[in-house]
Each structure stands twice: as structure tokens, then as C-alpha cells.
Amino acid sequence: MVHPVKEIVHQHDHHINLAWSEFLFAHDRKFNDSSEHTTRKNIFSQNHRLVNSHNRANHGYKLALNHLADRTDEELKALRGRKPTLEYNGGSVFPYSEDELKTVSLPINFDWRISGAVNPVKNQASCGSCWSFGTTGTLEGAYFLKTGKLISLSEQALMDCSWGFGNNGCDGGNDYTSYQWIMKHGGIPLEEEYGPYEAMDGFCHTDEVKLVSPITGWVNVTTHNERALKMAIFKHGPISIGINASLRTFGLYSNGVYYDPQCKGSEADLDHAVLAVGYGWVNHKKYWLVKNSWSNNWGNDGYILMEIKNNNCGVMTTPTYVTM
């Protein structure tokens, strides 16, 4: 006679083993030795349980065993390279009054991708360079609004060259320190001219290439203000934002409107830089449309819908955009 508990355990192990094999094949994962293989499989098994229990509970968004499903906490932390901003960042005040924000007519749904102002999702790989992608994303959007042309700017140039302004390449940085560097040097190179993104710190060689997309300054969108951020996106293009991306539910997000009550959003909680490219309303939930830089294997083709409620994960805490 089959023992029911043993049978359940056997079936569970079979499911895990099958999912693990599929994961290894899909992401071409190979390990140095059996000890690393065991460690990775244990992490994957924990995430397998989380994904299945979460998706059964109907939270309004789904998780998936994506390419990060076997990464250690330290490896995931290394992807989140936004440094806390504990002082005034030098930006201008948001140029709209409360009365203007109340009276202006804004669309219910808005998405800059439809207009062609947003490049395809990029991949920062195993490097804490998210800050450089948030920066280039908002510059590319501003340049598009000014010229009607979409260009791809070099994250690698920011990583290699802006150390003197407080950025630390793969070990983290900020949008506003990047803006300072861009202002001082009169622009930033195109990706195709400077060379491809390397996911590692390199030698600065901006003297060999032309700099484009000069900026005149940057603006701090009024903090914790939904109408202000919607107005900023609608009028000024994609916005650089800091978020709290430390929760496993964020790392394994797949689709739906993301909301995790554990996701705090104060300045000290913000550890990842991303790009807000739109906003909208679906299934009675208001959301921000956010572009990540963890490849299109992550999330919904590289994007996440983040619920506006309670400033979850801090989307409205420190948004900035540039002026040209």
C-alpha cells in the first residue's frame, strides 16, 4: 500500500526536479561543483514554494521562477545599486502649483512607449549599475520630446567616468550625481559610439567620442504626490525614480498590479533605480508603469505595474527629470 504522505513528498520532489531541470536549460545555468549545485537548487526550491503559494492566493499579481530564482540574497542585493540620498540633491523645485495640479486634465491611462520615447529593455546583468539606466532613460525621453528622435545613450560611460561625482560603477550611484557629470561635460556619448555595456567598471574614454544630449538642469518632482508625478510623466517624459526592490515578491514578479504591504517607501528604503514611463488604471487599481533593467526575462517583458496605493515601494518619494 502506498503511504499517502510519502506519495505527496515524492510528487513534490518530482515537481521541483522537473522545474529545476527546465530552469537550468532555459537559462543555460552551469555550476562549478556539486556543492554550488545543491545550494542553488535549495534556493530555487524555496522560491518554487513561494511562487506556488503566492499564485494560489490570488493577490492580484503573479510571481514566476525567472532567471533570478536561484540567486543568493547577496547576489540580488548587488543588483540594487541606488545609494541613499541623505542631503539636498541640487535639483529645481517642481514648477507647478497645487492649484495647477488640481485643475489640469490628465489622461486616465498614459504610456510613453506608444509614442516611441522609450528604448527596448536593457540588462544591467550582475552589476549594481541600475542608477545609470534610470539616468539614461530619462535623458533619452527628454531628448525624444525635444527632437522627436529616440537615441540610445551610454550607461557604460557613466559607470567609467562619473566616479569623481560620487558614483561607484557596479557598486552603486545616483541619478542626480550622473546629471551633475553630464552638465559639467556638456552631454553624454551615444552607446554605439562609446562601446557596448560591459557590466563591469572600465576606463573612461569620452575624449575619443562626441557628447550629445546636453542638459540645463534637473527637477525634483513634488514628493508623495500622485498628481505631481502623473503631470511630470505626461508633460516631461519618462521619470527617473528610486524604489525599494528588496522583497522576494519584487524579484520574482511576473505580471499583474504589484502591491506588497511589506514594501516600505521612505528615502532610506530606496535601493534600486528604475524608470517610470506611464501610469494607468486596471481592475479597479491605479498603477505606475515602470521599466526595469533586469532584461526582458524579468517581469512582464522587463516591466512592472506598481500599485499607486500608499506610495508602495516608494515610487513617489524621489522622482526626477532633466531639462534641456
Write the CA distances from 12 to 52, 67, 71, integer angstroms. Answer: 12, 21, 21
Domain co-membership, 247 together with 182 = yes
Q: Could you tell me which residues are beta bridge partners of residue 76?
A: none
Domain assignment present for residue 180? The answer is yes
Answer whether residue 89 shows pLDDT above 70: yes
Other beta carbons within 10 angstroms of residue 24's beta carbon come to 17
Q: Residue 173: what are its φ and ψ, rounded to 5°?
A: 180, -165
- Residue pair 160/201 in contact (Cβ under 8 Å)? The answer is yes
Say which residue, 139 or 10, is predicted with more confidence.
Answer: 139
Write the CA distances from 4 to 8, 9, 322, integer angstroms. Answer: 6, 9, 63
pLDDT band at 85 (very low <50, low <70, confident <90, very high): confident
Q: Residue 146: what are its φ and ψ, rounded to 5°?
A: -80, -40
Angle, helices 130-147/175-185, rounded to nearest 10 degrees: 50
pLDDT at position 10 is 57
DSSP string, 54-102: HHHT--SEEE---TTTT--HHHHHHH--BPP--S---PEEPS--HHHHH
Q: Could you tell me which residues are beta bridge partners of residue 323?
A: 217
Domain co-membership, 126 together with 146 = yes
Q: Residue 96: what are its φ and ψ, rounded to 5°?
A: -120, 135
Determine the average pLDDT of the residues in 157-168.
Answer: 97
Domain assignment present for residue 39? The answer is yes
Domain assignment present for residue 10? The answer is yes
- Residue pair 222/228 in contact (Cβ under 8 Å)? The answer is yes
pLDDT at position 12 is 66
Answer whether residue 5 shows pLDDT above 60: no
> Domain boundary residue among 63, 83, 112?
63
pLDDT band at 14 (very low <50, low <70, confident <90, very high): confident
> H or E stretch including 271?
none
Domain co-membership, 18 together with 130 = no
Sign of CA dihedral 158, 130, 300, 241: negative
The total number of structural domains in the chain stands at 2
Domain assignment present for residue 68? The answer is no
Residues making up the chain, counted from first to last: 324
Q: What is the pLDDT of residues 30-42, one digit of tens each?
A: 999 999 999 999 9
Which candidate, 44, 50, 61, 120, places its Cα nearest to that of 292?
Answer: 120
- Residue pair 238/199 in contact (Cβ under 8 Å)? The answer is no
Domain co-membership, 85 together with 56 = no
Other beta carbons within 10 angstroms of residue 46's beta carbon come to 13
Domain co-membership, 297 together with 180 = yes
For residue 135, give its domain range.
73-323
Domain co-membership, 45 together with 160 = no
pLDDT at position 7 is 47
Determine the average pLDDT of the residues in 228-247.
Answer: 98
Enumerate the active-site residues.
130, 272, 292
Residues 6+ apart with CB under 8 A from 196: 156
Domain co-membership, 59 together with 99 = no
Determine the average pLDDT of the residues in 44-71.
Answer: 97
Domain co-membership, 249 together with 144 = yes
pLDDT band at 11 (very low <50, low <70, confident <90, very high): low
Give the Cα separation of 154 and 209 in Å (integer). 11
- Residue pair 260/306 in contact (Cβ under 8 Å)? The answer is no
Domain assignment present for residue 92? The answer is yes
Domain co-membership, 48 together with 156 = no
> Domain boundary residue among 17, 43, 63?
63
Domain assignment present for residue 42? The answer is yes
pTM (2 decimals)?
Answer: 0.95
Domain co-membership, 44 together with 135 = no
Domain co-membership, 135 together with 240 = yes
Percent of the chain with pLDDT over 70: 96
Write the CA distances from 297 to 29, 79, 232, 292, integer angstroms. Answer: 14, 15, 29, 11
Give the Cα separation of 149 and 315 in Å (integer). 27
- Residue pair 191/206 in contact (Cβ under 8 Å)? The answer is no
Determine the average pLDDT of the residues in 277-285.
Answer: 97
Q: What is the mean pLDDT of the chain?
A: 95
- The one-character DSSP state at 298 is S
Domain co-membership, 56 together with 132 = no
CATH code where residue 138 lies: 3.90.70.10
